[in-house]
C-alpha cells in the first residue's frame, strides 16, 4: 500500500509510463491471488477527487464474463481503470472507438486485452467450427469474429482445446488493436503506450502475460 495524491494510506499513485502501469497492475493481481487485497482508491476522498477529471493508468478490454471483474482481480479502485467489455473481447467499431478515446483523450499508458479460461464465447465458436451450426441472433456475429482465432489455434494443433484457443484469441485481438487503429499504433510507436494480452486463470485468480507490444520493462 502506498500513499496517493489524496493522502489515503490505501491509495495507489497514478503511474505515468507503460512500465510503471504494468508493475502496478501486476502487483494488484498478486495481492488478489494472495488474498491480501488492499482495496485502494475506494473511499469518499477518492470519489471527491475525481469529480472534475480522471486519469486512469490502464485500459482493460476484457470479456464480459461475470467472473472477470477487472477492478477486483487487479485490486484497483475508482479512477484507476478505463474498462471496455464485450463477450469474448470481440472488437467492433464501438469498442475500438472507446479504446481510441482512452488513448487520444486520457493518455492511458497501458492497454490490456483480458481473456480467461473456459470462455463461453470461444467455446461456442469451437462448437460452431466443428459442427458448422451457427448460433441464432447477434451471437452469430460474435462467433464469426472469433472464428479466425479458433482456426489459427487449430492450424497450430488440430487437438487444440478451448484454453489454447482463448490464448490465441487474446494474442490476435491485441495484435489487431494495433493493426486496425492508427491512434493506438502511433502511441505504441512513440512508446507512450504498451499493449499487452493476458489470460486469466479462474481457479487461481492469476493473470498471465501471453502478448506484449511496447515498453513494459523498466
Segment 51-70 shows an average pLDDT of: 95
Establish if 12 belongs to a structural domain: no
Per the structure, how many domains does the chain have? 1
Establish if 115 belongs to a structural domain: yes
pLDDT band for 9, please (50, 70, 90 cuts): very low
Establish if 150 belongs to a structural domain: yes
Establish if 93 belongs to a structural domain: yes
Establish if 5 belongs to a structural domain: no
Strands (E), 87-177: 110-116
Cβ distance 16 to 52 under 8 Å? no
pLDDT band for 7, please (50, 70, 90 cuts): very low
Mean pLDDT of all residues in the chain?
A: 92
pTM above 0.95, yes or no: no
Q: Is the dihedral of CA 123, 126, 130, 136 positive or negative?
A: positive
Q: Is the pLDDT of residue 12 over 80?
A: no
3-state SS, residue 178? helix
Residues constituting the chain = 218
Quick: pLDDT tens for 131-189: 999 999 999 999 999 999 999 999 999 999 999 999 999 999 999 999 999 999 999 99
Range of the domain at 155: 18-213
Establish if 10 belongs to a structural domain: no
* Cα–Cα dist 72/200, whole Å: 13
User: By percentage, how much of the chain surpasses pLDDT 90?
Assistant: 89
C-alpha of 108 from chain center? 13
Residue 11 confidence (pLDDT)? 60
pLDDT band for 217, please (50, 70, 90 cuts): confident
pLDDT band for 218, please (50, 70, 90 cuts): low
pLDDT band for 14, please (50, 70, 90 cuts): confident
CATH number at residue 169: 3.40.1050.10
Amino acid at each position: 500500500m502506498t500513499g496517493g495524491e489524496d493522502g489515503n494510506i490505501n491509495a495507489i499513485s497514478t503511474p505515468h509510463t507503460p512500465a510503471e502501469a504494468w508493475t502496478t497492475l501486476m502487483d494488484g493481481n498478486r495481492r488478489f491471488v494472495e488474498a491480501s487485497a488492499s482495496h485502494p482508491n475506494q473511499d469518499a476522498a477518492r470519489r471527491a477527487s475525481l469529480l472534475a477529471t480522471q486519469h486512469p493508468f490502464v485500459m482493460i478490454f476484457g470479456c464480459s464474463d461475470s467472473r472477470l471483474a477487472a477492478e477486483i482481480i487487479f485490486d484497483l479502485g475508482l479512477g484507476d481503470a478505463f474498462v471496455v467489455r464485450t463477450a469474448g473481447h470481440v472488437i467492433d467499431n464501438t469498442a475500438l472507438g472507446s479504446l481510441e478515446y482512452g488513448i487520444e483523450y486520457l493518455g492511458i499508458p497501458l492497454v490490456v486485452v483480458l481473456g480467461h479460461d473456459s470462455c463461453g464465447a470461444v467455446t461456442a465458436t469451437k462448437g460452431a467450427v466443428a459442427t458448422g451450426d451457427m448460433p441464432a441472433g447477434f451471437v452469430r456475429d460474435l462467433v464469426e469474429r472469433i472464428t479466425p482465432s479458433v482456426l489459427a489455434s487449430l492450424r497450430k494443433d488440430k487437438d487444440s482445446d478451448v484454453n489454447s484457443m482463448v490464448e490465441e484469441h487474446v494474442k490476435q485481438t491485441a495484435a489487431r488493436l494495433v493493426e486496425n487503429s492508427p491512434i493506438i499504433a502511433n502511441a505504441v510507436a512513440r512508446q507512450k503506450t504498451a499493449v499487452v494480452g493476458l489470460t486469466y486463470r479462474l481457479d487461481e485468480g492469476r493473470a498471465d502475460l501471453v502478448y506484449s507490444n511496447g515498453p513494459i520493462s523498466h
